Structures are given as structure tokens and as C-alpha cells.
Homo-oligomer: A and B are copies of this chain.
């Protein structure tokens, strides 16, 4: 089952990634547990101990739980879907995929816009912007880490509004903006950095999806530029045209 040797990625990590994906795809749903270690070892063509390292990593992530004598049980397998449309909203997007949605304000402040931020927002470089660092959770599990910038002139107080409501949509509404539109979204992928590991509770080497997005008000004036990071093993995007 083609794992690759001597390529800088340890076998146990490749196998952990493959098993995680299989769980997410529902391949083991019938049994509710992963195949026995000996079977997996045969499938991947490695030693049983190597499979055990992979399963230990998944147990660490809380995805499986090994029970002596019974097998290795699947604890969690969700993959959240985020629709990206002209009216993309984080909380509405999750919909009923999670019972409990949460938006935490990690940090905020006013700063001069760097060129990377000023350009999408249509501001002069150095113009004052408000930066919000947020962490979003679904059913207690972190699903995205986001940095968002807003023109400071128009959105003074948005940090407090977000902190109180846990929702960008609600914060905009509190500041007198009842509606807004997503005009573009850029999607890339990368390895998780150190901060991702902490905030998103990932294990090293995990993959993250990165979405850079611009929102405007109904008149087309840019109001928010955001860079959000999602764990790729449990999140996907859907673009409906």
C-alpha cells in the first residue's frame, strides 16, 4: 500500500496520516474500529511496531483509543464542510454539523496596514487597521485560527463586539452593518506551524488549509481581509456556483 522510505517523512507518520484519512472517509465505520495491528502492518508492508507508533500518534490526537484485547476503537471521525459562497458566514456555514459553535477572541489591536493588508482592503500602506486574532470551535474542538483586518476608521469597537458575540456577522451588525459579501477567497495548503499545533491541537507534521478572503459591504467597499487556517484532516471547503 505504497508508503515511502527514506524521504524525510517517517513511516509511522505516513501510516498515521493514511489511517486518519481512512477513518475520515468512513472506511472503518462498519466495525467502529481500525483493523488489527498485524493486519495494518501487512497492508502497509511494515513491522507491527511501526503501525503501533502510528496508532499511538492517532490516540494522542484523540482520534482512536486502543483497548487491550478488543482492538483500537474509533473515537472521532468528523470532517467539517465549509461552503464558500457570495454569502459565506462561518457559523451559518457549519450549520447543523456541530451543535455548539464558539468564536474566541485571542488578541486584537490597531496597527498600520502592511502592504499585504492594505492592498486587498484598498487602503494606503500604513493606514490604521484593526487586527483580530480569533479561534473558532465546533463542539469544543478548534476548527480554525484566523487573523482578520478591518479599516480602523469605520470599525472602531469591532474587537469588543466580536468578543461579546463570538461572531463576525453579529459584530458587523452591532456596528450598523446588517449585510456583507464575500468577493474572493484564495485557498492554499501548508504544513502546520508551531502556533497551529498549539491552537488547533494538531500533532506535528499535520496539514492545514489556508483561506485568504476579502469581504465587502453591499456597496462593494472592502471591510474585512482575513487569513484563516484549518486542519486539513478534519475540514474541507465546498464552492457552490
Interface residues of A (CB under 8 A from B): 2, 4, 7-10, 12-14, 16-17, 21, 57, 81, 84-86, 181-191, 193-194, 197, 203-205, 207-209, 232, 236-241
Given known contacts A8-B12, A57-B8, is B191 in contact with A209 (CB within 8 Å)? no
Q: Are B191 and A9 in contact (CB under 8 A)?
A: yes
**Which one of B17, B57, B184, B188 contacts A232 once the chains associate, using CB atoms below 8 Å?**
B188
A9 — which chain B residues lie within 8 A by C-beta? 8-10, 13, 191, 204-205
Q: Are B238 and A186 in contact (CB under 8 A)?
A: yes
- Closest-CB distance, A86 to chain B (whole angstroms): 4
Instruction: Supply 5 A–B pairs (Cβ within 8 Å), ascending by A.
Output: A2-B193, A4-B197, A4-B204, A8-B204, A186-B239
Q: How many copies does the complex hold?
A: 2
Q: Are A8 and B10 in contact (CB under 8 A)?
A: yes
For the complex, give the distance between the alpha carbons of A57 and B21 in Å: 27
Q: Are A241 and B184 in contact (CB under 8 A)?
A: yes
Q: Are B86 and A241 in contact (CB under 8 A)?
A: yes
Given known contacts A8-B13, A84-B239, is B184 in contact with A209 (CB within 8 Å)? no
A240 — which chain B residues lie within 8 A by C-beta? 183-184
For the complex, give the distance between the alpha carbons of A53 and B32 in Å: 42
A17 — which chain B residues lie within 8 A by C-beta? 190-191
Q: Are A194 and B4 in contact (CB under 8 A)?
A: yes
Q: Are B205 and A187 in contact (CB under 8 A)?
A: no
A194 — which chain B residues lie within 8 A by C-beta? 2, 4
A83 to chain B: closest residue by CB: B184
**Which one of B4, B16, B184, B237 contacts A186 once the chains associate, using CB atoms below 8 Å?**
B237
A240 to chain B: closest residue by CB: B184
Q: Are A232 and B189 in contact (CB under 8 A)?
A: yes
